[in-house]
Structure 1
Amino acid sequence: MFKKTRLRVSPEEDLPPETIRHLLNRKGLTYAALDRARGLKEGSSRKASYYPMFAGEMAIADALRLSPRQIWPSRYGDNGQRLQPQPSHNYKTEPRLVASQKRSA
């Protein structure tokens, strides 16, 4: 009846923030609702989808009933332990379309 959703091309790629948001929305959740339910500062869960933030990562993983390693393999070692310190490439994001358009104008 329902097709199984394929989450990523490679098991070594992090889920894109858009996919995380889509999966949360399918469960009737938002980043703001996760923050309120966990008592986190506003925007923590949303930022965790882009950058390493432990509390936000745990809130998202619990809501999706996945391990954080399944969502962000680059942030966790093969043994499932969170990498300390985080690799520098985890703090860089691709420019969004709006930002790209402003630069080219």
Structure 2
Amino acid sequence: MHSDSVTSKLGWTERRRLKEVARIKGKLIEKKLTLAMIDEHYNLPARTAGNAVHEPHLAGERAIAAALDTLPHLLWPSRYFADGRRKSPQPPENYRYGRRAAAVDETEAA
């Protein structure tokens, strides 16, 4: 059986996050939308929607969900509870480079 050497080295939470990103990007392609178009239409600073795909950003999440005619908690189950409430604070694994990794680096440097 074929095994992707990159994804096989990733943890479960990272694979889940990448699947969320891929699913959202696929939906954008189906609707012929770009993240830059969403930024412009919803008057967001440049790259806000692009960043929101990868890391928690409330305004970007809401804009992407609205553009896709859905709700944010349906696009990012890792960032929201099933009833639609946003997790606060966000778990460290929801960040691309992980806040936990930065904390570990700081303790090792000490």
**TM over 0.5: same fold?**
yes
Distance in 2 (CA, whole Å) between partners of 1:91 and 1:81 is 18
Deviation beyond 6 Å, 4+ runs, structure 1: none
> What residue is the counterpart of 2:104 in the other structure?
none
> What residue is the counterpart of 1:52 in the other structure?
56
Question: Unaligned stretches of 5+ in structure 1?
Answer: 1-12, 94-105
Question: Unaligned stretches of 5+ in structure 2?
Answer: 1-15, 98-110
Residue identity over aligned pairs, in percent, reads 38
Number of equivalenced pairs: 82
Root-mean-square deviation (CA, aligned residues, Å) is 1.9
Q: Which has the higher contact order (CA 8 A, sep 6+)?
A: 1
> What residue is the counterpart of 2:40 in the other structure?
36
SS in 1 for 2:82: coil
TM-score (norm: length of structure 2): 0.66
Residue 84, structure 1, aligned to residue 105, structure 2: no
Q: How far off is 1:18 after superposition?
A: 2.9
TM-score (norm: length of structure 1): 0.69
> What residue is the counterpart of 2:25 in the other structure?
21
Q: Which is helix-richer, 1 or 2?
A: 2
